Structure 1
Amino acid sequence: MKNFLFVSAENDALANCKAGGMADVVRDVPRQIAVTGDHVHVVVPAYNRLHKNGRLISELKFNIRGEATVASIYEVAPKKKIQGITHYVIDHPEIVEGNIAHIYNDDPEEPFFTDAVKYFIFNTAVAQAVKQNIFDHVDVVHLHDWHTALLAFHKAFHQDFTILKESWFVYSIHNLSLQGIRPLNDNFASINNFFPELGYDYEKIKDPRYNDCINLMAVGIRLSDKVHTVSPSYMQDIMRPSHKPEFIGGEGLEEDLRIAFAEGRLHGILNGVNYKNMRVAKKGNLYANILIQIFKWIQEESKKYKSDILANTGEKVVHLLLNPPSFVASSVARMTEQKFYFFKRNPEALKEILKNLEAKNGIFILLGTGEPEYERLMRDISYEHANFIFINGQSEDIIDSIYLESNLYFMPSLFEPCGISQMLAMRNGVLCLVHHTGGLIDTVRDGVDGFAFYGSHIDETVSNMVKAFDHCIDVYQNDRKRWGVMRRKAKAVRFSWEDSVKRYYDKLYTY
């Protein structure tokens, strides 16, 4: 029996510990591993809140910034208890709650400053927990994105944590565009300030563009035994250089990734989605769920600054109860460049889509929170267009209803490592319109079980997006037989974790 340790910034097996799709992976992969009879320990930061109902396991004493400090590790109850999985959180005064999904911090003037501090401490605490045998002997350590790459750094260079060398390290890349770049020196959130006693191989940690910085994403790629991307096509994408905004590729790390591939360490394995015991919405509750949640949000102090847009959205939804639309398009995503760059580059494209929908009694529902400039753009357009329902918040009940009751799910991602939304929509037989990039190439077949758009340059891509959207409505209205066949094919597709985790064992967990 193998003993696994999953280390991550997010884990949707716990309540209120999710910002993106990585949390779904960290929830689902351990469940599939447990089916094999192996055991998984999953550890995430407590963010000053997740430990409050947990059971204290141990104090963890270690050095940072040349001084002793103490963190605490708690065992916590998951949303669903699964035999063979144990969940933990690590608490420390500097592992703070962020302003993005109560997890990450947005530091626009000095990117990754606050997050680097808390993840430096978190990873060192995890290393100390391994040293104290909290997880028993760990066969495989599975790291996720730059937030956990420091554990690979400690394995390679920290004399207090040589026990890490006894474990096989796997590093998953969920989003290469966020790399955790920090100065080596002369900064509070720098590697030499936090670990002044350590000697390290500069070539193994340096950022290829900023020679006075550590690149934690690069550290994970260079120092792990196996490297994993969350779809085969994304793996191919990131081994090519980026040409923004036309193409988002390796973002400066393409050479490191090509080396890892040549060494047989890099593998692209598509994420899966759950088809059993899934959270199921009740049909016909979409508008009611939106209104119930809006009333709750408006009463929250934290939502006061959004009360105008929420009230405006509520008025639109009340109107829909009496005047239901003929076509519902939807998106659920964080308001970021990755997800909605096309709309920021050309807001008129979104407005044209809305006008085309309006002419056919259609609406577009968009749910999400994120970067202020993207939220502001969507709020402004929502005020202008009665058929644009912008829900500026997060709600599982609304999301489940959107995946169930939409006619078309829209993913205009600039790039997409894998994407889970299209899988969740297809699971319900909802057709998707996607930008054919990354994992969306591996999951949606244009004209077979969904629709796709692409272009040779950015403006052509945006233009084709608008045309493809109108084409989807045309097929729905004028060729229901074809639409029905495509829906059945979408619902029949299986992106199972069982298949994906078999490949994990074959490609990533074999040593």
Structure 2
Amino acid sequence: MHVLMVAAENDALPNAKVGGVADVVRDSPKALVAAGLTVDIVIPDYGFNHLDKVLLGKFAVPFAGRIEQLEISQVASTEQGIRQFIISHHEFSRHQGAVYCNDDDNRPFATDASKFALFNSAVCEAMLQRLLSSADVLHLHDWHSACVALLLKYEQRYDVFSDLFIAYTVHNLALQGIRPFNGDLSSLEAWYPGLAYNGEVLCDPRYPNCFNPMRAALNLVDKVHLVSPTYSLEVLTASHPENGYFGGEGLENDLKRLQSAGKLVGILNGCEYPQPACVDDVTLSQLYDDIDQVLLSWMAKQTQLETSHYIAHQRLKLFMQNPQRGPLMTSVGRLTTQKALLLVQPDQQQLSIDSICQLLAEQQGRLIMLGSGDNVLEQHMTQAMARNNNFLFLKGYAHSVGESLYQLGDVFLMPSSFEPCGISQMLAMRAGQPCLVHSVGGLRDTVKHLENGFAFSGATLTSQTQAMLCTVKEALALKLDKPQRWQAICQQAKAARFSWQQVAEQYILDLYQ
């Protein structure tokens, strides 16, 4: 069986990772090849100027009333059975190598939607011109590749692919790429003028005058995949964000129909477990030195000193001067409402993040958080760091720091309001660090309370927040008072396995046919 994967991210290539989809597109092909398949992967060329690659051809693509000239190249790969392709156009690489552009709320997704609409056209055309090999299964990832399904369904020139089996993975239902049908340069009819389509299948249920790429894919492909069993059930219920519940995000009726038809599957993503585990022992002192260098490099990039970096550097010096005595809580991930909503909920006269810091302070413990994202949440964390001298917030991302935090932490904090799968908890567990999580989505499928970690839940934002704080208190008390029980939980976390081999088997049996 030959599979062609189409995605926006791929961590097998440099600087082509933003979220977990990049890990999936990097790792799942290796497991599929081990199971006897061959896999091709194609993503946009965001400016991969220094890659070892071979130009396969130049080709013309009709788009937005013009004929665009694009190039497709194959990237040198050492992985048997896997071929990496990139498609080049100035629209993909003109954003300083960024995978995504953050448009303002007046025109959400506008730049990215147009960029990926062109990329999707190019994929279809490259398939037609045999610049990409014919596949048995076309595997599309998230809304960025959804227009491939749209064009293969409605554009007559691609009728030759009418029997091609299409699988579609939803990594995050909250991001759907919604744009108008018309009346904007970034709209369906502007990209594909003259395309005959069924608006009832493509429209957003909440905004009927808008095109929803994710809904289009759900309705046009053969099989739909959610990235954990629990998440595949949660999305069948409408979201109620006021109660802290994030489910179908407007697409619950389509997803229920797919489930009834046997076209919806929930398969947990995997994690790589190197054999032998080649992890260098890192010390807290080495981590602090690394953070120092990272902070200085972040500060050097700007002419004006950022408040967050300044306070973090001052806090780091305090940490370095005073040896660690209590537990170290860690957190690594994007700072978004999805990940951090529960950390900024009110608790008495303060925020819940302050309450967590105070619980840690009772045992002379510390919290180190690495991540960036939403400006308001970044400001909340910066202000909380200023209020709590045992909290170090690093506004950004540094791979080496993240890896050290997975290894050195005593408990990993991941209170996501929703989590389709999650990879951070798997990486922390792999290093033997138990996780403290909100029992939703993939977190519920991986972390078991008092077995290999700590989990909480609640029916409202208030009850979720209080349950989180109670669980923090419970975990810290267990570490202090019952060290043998704590060590057993750590060992169970380290022993847990979420293998890509098992995922590949489920892909072949449940997703690819």
If the TM-score is normalised by the length of the shorter chain, which range does it land in? over 0.9
Structure 1 residue 385 displacement after superposition: 1.7
Structure 1 residue 369 displacement after superposition: 1.4
2:268 aligns with 270
Given the superposition, is the C-alpha separation of residues 411 and 213 from structure 1 closer, same or farther in structure 2, using an over 3 Å criterion? same
Distance 1:476 1:101 in 2: 42
Distance 1:397 1:42 in 2: 27
Q: Is the 8 A contact 1:58 1:72 kept in 2?
A: yes
Distance 1:489 1:98 in 2: 44
Given the superposition, is the C-alpha separation of residues 254 and 348 from structure 1 closer, same or farther in structure 2, using an over 3 Å criterion? same
> 1:309-367: CA deviations, max 9, x gaps?
22332232233233232211011111111001112333611111111212211111111
2:505 aligned with 1:507, yes or no?
A: no
Q: Is the 8 A contact 2:338 2:419 kept in 1?
A: yes
What are the equivalent positions in structure 2 for 1:70-89 lying under 5 Å apart? 70-77=69-76, 81-89=78-86
Given the superposition, is the C-alpha separation of residues 279 and 199 from structure 1 closer, same or farther in structure 2, using an over 3 Å criterion? farther
Distance 2:141 2:127 in 1: 17
2:240 aligns with 243
Distance 1:306 1:27 in 2: 36
1:65 aligns with 64
2:119 aligns with 122
* TM-score normalized with structure 1 length: 0.95
Equivalent residue letter for 1:248: F
Equivalent residue letter for 1:291: D
Q: Is the 8 A contact 1:11 1:24 kept in 2?
A: yes
Q: Is the 8 A contact 2:8 2:99 kept in 1?
A: no
The number of residues matched between the two structures is: 504
Equivalent residue letter for 1:148: S
2:459 aligned with 1:459, yes or no?
A: no
> 1:198-256: CA deviations, max 9, x gaps?
10122221111111111111011111111000000000000111111321110111110
Distance 1:279 1:374 in 2: 35
> 1:169-197: CA deviations, max 9, x gaps?
10001100111111101111010111112
Q: Is the 8 A contact 1:140 1:168 kept in 2?
A: yes
1:234 aligns with 231
Aligned-residue RMSD, C-alpha: 1.8
SS of the counterpart of 1:343?
A: helix
Distance 1:136 1:186 in 2: 36
What are the equivalent positions in structure 2 for 1:110-509 lying under 5 Å apart? 110-246=107-243, 247-276=245-274, 280-284=279-283, 285-301=286-302, 304=303, 307-325=306-324, 326-346=326-346, 348-509=351-512
Equivalent residue letter for 2:415: P
Moved more, 169-178 or 159-168: 159-168
Equivalent residue letter for 2:264: L
> 1:385-424: CA deviations, max 9, x gaps?
2211111111110011010000000001011101111111
Moved more, 200-209 or 392-401: 200-209
SS of the counterpart of 2:71?
A: strand
Give the gaps of 5 or more residues in structure 1: none
> 1:268-325: CA deviations, max 9, x gaps?
0011100026773432132222122222222224xx5564422332232233233232
> 1:256-276: CA deviations, max 9, x gaps?
001111111100001110002
> 1:467-492: CA deviations, max 9, x gaps?
11111111111110110111111111
Given the superposition, is the C-alpha separation of residues 105 and 160 from structure 1 closer, same or farther in structure 2, using an over 3 Å criterion? farther
Q: Is the 8 A contact 1:107 1:114 kept in 2?
A: no
Q: Is the 8 A contact 2:344 2:351 kept in 1?
A: no
State the identity as a percent.
37
2:4 aligns with 5
SS of the counterpart of 2:386?
A: helix
Q: Is the 8 A contact 2:331 2:413 kept in 1?
A: yes
Moved more, 247-256 or 337-346: 337-346
What are the equivalent positions in structure 2 for 1:26-65 lying under 5 Å apart? 26-47=25-46, 49-53=47-51, 54-65=53-64
Q: Is the 8 A contact 1:7 1:143 kept in 2?
A: yes
Distance 2:330 2:85 in 1: 35
SS of the counterpart of 2:242?
A: coil
Distance 2:25 2:363 in 1: 41
* TM-score normalized with structure 2 length: 0.95
Q: Is the 8 A contact 1:7 1:43 kept in 2?
A: yes
Equivalent residue letter for 2:155: H
Given the superposition, is the C-alpha separation of residues 509 and 51 from structure 1 closer, same or farther in structure 2, using an over 3 Å criterion? farther
Q: Is the 8 A contact 2:228 2:269 kept in 1?
A: yes
Q: Is the 8 A contact 2:109 2:178 kept in 1?
A: yes
Distance 1:100 1:106 in 2: 16
Given the superposition, is the C-alpha separation of residues 203 and 279 from structure 1 closer, same or farther in structure 2, using an over 3 Å criterion? farther
Structure 1 residue 70 displacement after superposition: 1.0
Given the superposition, is the C-alpha separation of residues 344 and 109 from structure 1 closer, same or farther in structure 2, using an over 3 Å criterion? farther
